[in-house]
Amino acid sequence: MNNFEIFNETHDEIKELDEIKKVVEFALKYQNITCSVFNIIIVDEKKIRELNKNYRNKDSVTDVISFALEDDDTFIKTDFRVLGDIYICLKRAKDQANEYGHSLLRELSFLTIHGLLHLLGYDHMKEEDEKVMFELQERILDEYGIKRENK
């Protein structure tokens, strides 16, 4: 059984969080992940900038940061996978939803699945890896029913 929590550390109400939980459950099933633990934390610009600066040496606001605990061989092997944490900047998600002309649900879903795939070991450092990861996240969202044209 998968166990994840979504924490809203902003002062804003986010009505999309119940649906995001369903999107994540769908993605885990889609990827055949059955025993995992992780967190999704929605934060403000100040917090995501601080994380980006401290852990990636980039003094800027970003939309999503994942801290994968299975990145190397030092993680503790158990019957379940402790995947890590996904941090999403709500302000950036809202701005990007407006910029791309789609709903906040679509943008939060995209960022959440993007972060989740990073926790599962996907990356986009090389062009061929980026193609695999981005096609997979679009396929998951499309099959769930959150398509690019939603508004």
Quickly list DSSP for 12-63. Answer: S--TTHHHHHHHHHHHHHHTT--SEEEEEEEE-HHHHHHHHHHHHS--S--S
pLDDT mean over 50-78: 84
Mind listing the pLDDT tens digit for each residue in 78-111? 677 889 999 999 999 999 999 999 999 999 999 9
User: Residue 146 and residue 107: Cα distance in Å, rounded?
Assistant: 10
Predicted confidence at residue 151, as pLDDT, reads 42
Domains observed in the chain:
3-144 (3.40.390.30)
Q: What is the pTM of this model?
A: 0.91
**Cα 101–chain centre separation:** 20
